[in-house]
Structure 1
Amino acid sequence: MTKPLLVAENISKYYDGRVACEKVNFELWPGEVLAIVGESGSGKTTLLKCLSMQIAPNAGRVLYSLRDGRTESLSDLSEAERRFLMRTDWGFVHQDPREGLRMGVSAGANVGERLMAVGERHYGRIRSTALDWLNRVEIAGDRIDESPRNYSGGMRQRLQIARNLVTAPRLVFMDEPTGGLDVSVQARLLDLLRGLVRTLGLSVVIVTHDLAVARLLSTRILVMQQGKVIETGLTDQVLEDPQAPYTQLLVSSVLQV
């Protein structure tokens, strides 16, 4: 593509007069991974929710390049168009996988439901594709009929990733995908994510407080403090030579290399 996949223009959100995020601008290009970083309360999760239409911004707009070549403001889409976009062209990986999975159905059904949302009705193909994706995210195929309740936290997160990616979305939002996991499980999940992102050519917006995660996964970084973007640029450049005092503090106190 010769144009951005997603454009944020002056995105602002306020709660009872308090700034959650304000005048955020950026472009996300096909195949690019953007990390939004900052301490708790910096506005990064609010921004992610505005970008993914979970909440409406008070000001600004989000433009998205649809598969047919049109670029539309998300606020101008009909409710049916938004729902279709979210179950086909987009994925959302929650920090708590229970928010992104149906815990009352099997692992295979969790993946299969997403396929059915895009029109697949052949049981054999659905099950075969689900098995393939469980294998891709390193879940044994003989556990396809088990409930996610029987899975560990790391396995649930990998299942959530499979559920999101099975429809070949072009854009995936990730909210602290390694949060709450043991260090060894985090490392395995990050390695899996990095491989899938590169292999599938995904565009990703990832929120994380962990600069090591941002360094490993992202090509570009956006640093937030008190709802405002205070620094942005190529990930390696920003982390190696931070300019804003707040970014310098984050790098010196958090990043371990």
Structure 2
Amino acid sequence: MTDEPLLRVSALSKFYGSRVGCDNVSFDLWPGEVLAVVGESGSGKTTLLNCLSTRLLPSSGTASYRMRDGQFRELYRMSEAERRFLMRTDWGFVHQNPADGLRMTVSAGANVGERLMAVGDRHYGKIRATAVDWLSRVEIEQDRIDDEPRAFSGGMRQRLQIARNLVTGPRLVFMDEPTGGLDVSVQARLLDLLRGLVTDLGLAAIVVTHDLAVARLLSQRMMVMKDGRVVESGLTDRVLDDPRAPYTQLLVSSILQV
């Protein structure tokens, strides 16, 4: 077990002209830790996630990732090709809308297999066997392997997107409202599945959500954002059971009154 974080973020800011996306965000993420970033719409949590996953370049600040060789690399100084390789191999990104994270016109098996090919697998039989194994892990029947995601329900698409992301054994997964837009019963099943996979695989994850129940179920630590700034952070149970910032108190009490 290393005594160094996986990701170091320092004074990260993103501005759109005079509008604040996120401002002066700093934290460390440790191997195997799940961090929830919560806040209402417009709080800056998705901007932060997109900066951390290098989909957006920040206006200022740094984010350094500890590579598999143990060396820290500054993400925004990497070449675009290096960042894309990282996103295909060591990282995963689970979108709220699964169609954004899947190729809808190729089979379920091909969606999983593409990620394996990105890390150098070329043996068709081995790729297909791994795809079958991962589909079963996310509760998709083996006989659906040749079906296109277009034929799947929303919950199945999301589970397929999760399989596609996790098949390469990433160390860090970004999740943007992973249960958003799904029926409550489907959400509960998906959260159980995600929690089990994250624990079993020892994944580090950053989960953006407006749903405090999702944060409580998935994360050990959370940050609360408002107007682009972190107003409170700490262990998830402490923040939710004993919120100190007035905004966090408001968020928690609004959930309790529903």
TM-score, scaled relative to structure 1: 0.99
For 1:48, the equivalent position in structure 2 comes to 49
Asked if the contact 1:224/1:231 (under 8 Å) is kept, the reply is yes
Are 2:178 and 1:177 aligned? yes
- What pairs up with 1:1-257 in 2 under 5 angstroms? 1-255=2-256
Amino acid at match of 2:122: R
1:255 shift after superposition: 5.0
SS in 1 for 2:106: coil
Distance (Å, rounded) in 1 between the aligned partners of 2:246 and 2:240: 12
Amino acid at match of 2:98: P
Amino acid at match of 2:135: L
Distance (Å, rounded) in 2 between the aligned partners of 1:83 and 1:187: 32
| Cα displacement string for residues 177-233 of structure 1 (whole angstroms, at most 9, x for unaligned residues) | 000000000000000000000000000000000000000000000000000000000
1:2 shift after superposition: 1.2
> Structure 2: which 5+ residue stretches go unaligned?
none
Distance (Å, rounded) in 2 between the aligned partners of 1:146 and 1:204: 29
Distance change in 2, residues 1:186/1:221 (3 Å): same
1:136 shift after superposition: 0.1
> Structure 1: which 5+ residue stretches go unaligned?
none
Asked if the contact 1:211/1:255 (under 8 Å) is kept, the reply is no
SS in 2 for 1:102: coil
| Cα displacement string for residues 80-134 of structure 1 (whole angstroms, at most 9, x for unaligned residues) | 2111111000000000000000001000000000000000000000000000000
SS in 1 for 2:234: strand
| Cα displacement string for residues 35-64 of structure 1 (whole angstroms, at most 9, x for unaligned residues) | 000000000000000000000000001110
Distance change in 2, residues 1:255/1:103 (3 Å): farther
1:256 shift after superposition: 7.5
Distance (Å, rounded) in 1 between the aligned partners of 2:257 and 2:239: 15
